[in-house]
Chains A and B, each alone.
Chain A
Amino acid sequence: MDDLDRKIVNALQGGFPVCERPYLEVASRLGMAEEELIARLEKLLADRVLTRFGPLYNAERMGGAFTLAALSVPEADYDRVAQAVNALPQVAHNYRREHTLNMWFVLATDTREGIADAIREIEARTGLPVFNFPKEEEFFLELRFAA
């Protein structure tokens, strides 16, 4: 990653324009050619410096729902449980964390009722109780990572 890549990563965390030639608009602002911006974006995505480029949707505003949930998984059973949890398409992210509650995942569903269904499914497949941590309030300020 060079300085220009860093400029691109920093610039594109803000609002990308909705217009006929949005890459051209951003490229001009950064003092580069449209095709170079597109080529570098392709490479940043291929190299996994960026995990995604595009609209970021808010599931709740679409009638869907989100929750954060956790399991306390016995170490000997960890891989099996991880596979069982990850197999559900409603599991968007899943992290191992260092704690008695050692598996933390985000559930995202198209409908509000979908969350309870997914939790029941996970409990049935893993035999473990799910700790559900639905958000009660959000204090949102999106982090801008300095690249």
Chain B
Amino acid sequence: MNLDATDRRLVHATQDGLPLTPRPYHALAERLNLEPAEVMARMEKMLAAGVVRRIGAVPNHYALGYTANGMTVWDVDDDKARELGRQVGGLDFVSHCYRRPRHLPDWPYNLFAMVHGKDRTEVEEKSRRIADLLGDACRGHEILYSSRILKKTGLRFGG
């Protein structure tokens, strides 16, 4: 989808979030000098096009008690990576799953799956379930725990 200048103004106006007022789209319309119906129509269109993944809340998983955050990385046969990636991505405890390039010889892993747990034991149990699923197609894996958030601002867009 090609965003026009008005879409970009709308993106810019909502990058810190949706106004917490009873009529949030009206508040945006007023700020952008648009009709409320137009703001809502543009938002619907961006949702339909996937430019907006969803409108909603992003929980701080640390605050919810998911303090162990493990990036699990797997060295999986290239010709099976797509099918296995789909299966790993479909596990309910995997938040994101991607196929990414290897950097040999330092980095043999091509499948990345983020796993969250209340503690490391939980992350390790979940990681074992991924290992079971991958079976012989996997030659090795590691879990990279995050020990500190150095920056978390989310995405910033110009506009």
Contact = CB atoms under 8 A, between A and B. Distances in A.
Interface in B1-51: 1-3, 11, 14-18, 20-26, 36, 40, 43-44, 46-47, 49-51
Interface SS of A by simple majority: mixed
Contacts of A110: 157-158
- Chain B interface main SS type: mixed
A56 B46 CA distance: 11
A29 interface: no
Given A42-B20, A137-B82, A95 B148 contact: yes
Given A20-B23, A20-B36, A54 B158 contact: no
B37 to A, nearest CB: 10
Interface residues on A, range: 35 or more
Contact of A23 (B24, B61, B112): B24
Interface string B99-143: 111010011000010001000000000000000000000000010
A23 B24 CA distance: 9
A38 B57 CA distance: 13
A137 B18 CA distance: 30
Contact of A97 (B107, B145, B157): B145
A50 to B, nearest CB: 5
Interface size class of B (residues with CB under 8 A): 35 or more
Nearest to A64: B157
B150 A55 contact: no
Given A9-B59, A13-B56, A61 B51 contact: yes
Contacts of A20: 23, 25-26, 36
A47 B63 CA distance: 9
Contacts of A76: none
21 contacts: A15-B55, A18-B44, A20-B23, A22-B24, A35-B22, A51-B58, A52-B57, A53-B56, A54-B17, A55-B55, A57-B51, A62-B51, A96-B146, A97-B146, A98-B145, A101-B144, A104-B71, A110-B158, A137-B85, A137-B98, A138-B89
Interface of A: 8-9, 12-16, 18-24, 34-35, 38, 41-42, 44-45, 47-59, 61-64, 68, 82, 85-86, 89, 91-101, 103-105, 108, 110, 131-143, 145-147
Given A50-B59, A133-B112, 9 more contacts: A41-B57, A55-B11, A56-B52, A56-B56, A57-B51, A57-B155, A86-B150, A132-B101, A141-B94
